[in-house]
Amino acid sequence: MKSLRVQFFSFLAVLLIVLLLMLNIFPITSSRDTVFQEKESSISGQAAILATSLAKLDKPDQASVGEVLRLLNITGFERTVVVDTRGQTLYYTYGTSAPESEEKDLNTALSGKTVFRSKYDGESFLSSYAIPISCQGAITGAVYLLERDVVRAVIILDVQSQIRIISVMIILVVLALAVVFSSVILRRIHDLASSMRIVAAGDYSHRMQISGSDELSDLGNEFNTLTERLDATERERRRFVSDASHELKTPLASIRLLSDSIVQNENMDTETVREFVTDIGNEAERLQRTTEKLLDLSRLDDDIQVIPEPVDVKQVAVDALVLLRPLAKERQIRLRCELEEGCVVMATVDDMFHIIFNLIENAIKYNLDGGSVFVRLETGPENIMLTVEDTGVGIPEEDRYNIFTRFYRVDKARSREAGGSGLGLSIVHAAVKAHGGTVQARNNCGLVIEIALPCEEGEEDEQNSDRGG
């Protein structure tokens, strides 16, 4: 694995090399080209004037050409050579030895063409120009001028060395900034990675310190949110395991105590034995109810792929009411209902039955003797609404957020006495959620629970994809 730092610096190095090469090459070549152009125009102009003036001379020689040069003020050339048609030198001033190209260029000029050369050797610009001397269409000789320019070369050398200094400074500044920047970024990535390792090792309470508001901070915030959820899930799991153990332990301990009493007490009369065995049976039944509810919940949690079918909610509600009527009668509780026809949802009959049965059962169990329960079923534009309202004790505001939590009971003694395990509403909540609905609790005279479930129409596809995913 290539470290991020190596990748970053390799990229930066390539970028810097390209940039600095451009910075070092481009200005120098372009200013050199400008000098070449300038040289060509100035030297060709002077050569042309000289050639025209020399064409007027009858017999050009060292003295007369020198006079013309002086009159025209053409000075400062390294070499000035004038030849006749045969190439014989008529005039010369030599500041330096002849370059290789001189003779060739003079011959080219004698054939009627001009030749310009210019080169930069790092110390000076050496420019030469050869031009024919023509009089009335006939070539009578040629002029060759060679100029050496050190001043401009020095300027270019200066610029070059300044660019080099700037380049070095750029490299140093960029490197320093890159080291600081990469260290900060890498330290933050390293912090994130070590936080992840800590959480992966099981410490869900760990949170990252976030500073700033860039993408890495966002990542840190996301990580903290994820860890918070993990933490909450883990706490919930632990509490669930401990609650479940506790729920199962209590009836088991009673059974143990009752059976021990029977075994140890040889002289126990039949009536008492019968009473004890009945109690053992009741405890066993409570255990069975609790385990069945736990299994229902785990099925709903697992999101096992059940195929939803159209369920007539009214029919399910009537079935639940029939089953619960005896319980209501025992406590002189009046069951009233207003059930609209044609309320169909995509769910399973079992889930719908669990929802409605648990709600009406609670409304009876936690009601006052002689009270009443009202069940209403109606269709809205998108949802069907199921409301179960009672005239019982209701639920205090501070407990209302917890009633869908597993094993949560508001009045523990009362609930236990009523045979409750604290799982009924959790099953309601899980089942409603599984079918895309919502559930709400509020107090009126007693408790009001309202459930909204999507109507069958147009929901089929959504439900399939929900549960299939």
Residues that bind Mg ion (CB under 5 A): 362, 424
Contact partner at residue 393 from ligand ATP, Mg ion, none, CB < 5 to 8 Å by partner kind: ligand ATP
Go through 329-345 and write b for each residue having 16 or more CB atoms within 10 A of its CB, e for each that does not: eeeebebeeebeeebbb
The answer to whether the beta carbons of residues 44 and 61 sit under 8 Å apart is: no
| Block residue for tokens 């719908």 | 352
Q: Residue 444: which residues within 8 A CB-CB, separation 6 or more?
A: 389, 394
Applying CB under 6 A, among 280, 343, 355, 410 the residue interacting with ligand ATP is 410
Applying CB under 6 A, among 60, 220, 308, 420 the residue interacting with ligand ATP is 420
Determine the Cα angle at 419 with ends 417 and 422, to 5°. Answer: 105
| Block residue for tokens 């229902």 | 296
Counting every residue, how long is the chain? 469
Applying CB under 6 A, among 60, 132, 220, 424 the residue interacting with ligand ATP is 424
The pattern of x and - marking residues 100 through 129 that bind ligand ATP according to CB under 6 A reads ------------------------------
How far apart are alpha carbons 55 and 440 in whole angstroms?
A: 114
Applying CB under 6 A, among 79, 148, 354, 409 the residue interacting with ligand ATP is 409
421 binds ligand ATP (CB under 6 A): yes
Instruction: Please report how close the Cβ of residue 296 comes to ligand ATP at its closest, in angstroms.
Output: 10
User: Collapsing DSSP states into helix, strand and coil, what is residue 132?
Assistant: strand
- The residue (of 145 and 355) whose beta carbon lies closer to ligand ATP is 355
H or E, element range at 215: helix 215-264
Instruction: Please report how close the Cβ of residue 428 comes to ligand ATP at its closest, in angstroms.
Output: 7
Phi then psi dihedrals of residue 149, to 5 deg: -115, 110
- Which residues, numbered 292-321, are part of the site for ligand ATP (CB under 6 A)? 293
251 binds ligand ATP (CB under 6 A): no
- The residue (of 358 and 372) whose beta carbon lies closer to ligand ATP is 358
Applying CB under 6 A, among 84, 279, 303, 411 the residue interacting with ligand ATP is 411
How far apart are alpha carbons 2 and 31 in whole angstroms?
A: 43
The residue range among 25-33, 132-140, 280-288, 385-393 that interacts with ligand ATP, by the rule CB under 6 A, is 385-393
Residue 2 CB-density burial (10 A; 0-12 exposed, 13-18 middle, 19+ buried) = exposed
368 binds ligand ATP (CB under 6 A): no
- Which residues, numbered 258-297, are part of the site for ligand ATP (CB under 6 A)? 293
Instruction: Please report how close the Cβ of residue 432 comes to Mg ion at its closest, in angstroms.
Output: 15
Greatest alpha-carbon pair distance for the chain in Å reads 165
Which residues partner with 93 through β-bridges? 80
- The residue (of 386 and 403) whose beta carbon lies closer to ligand ATP is 403
- Binding footprint of ligand ATP on the chain (CB under 6 A): 293, 358, 362-363, 366, 390, 392-395, 403, 408-411, 415, 420-426, 446-447
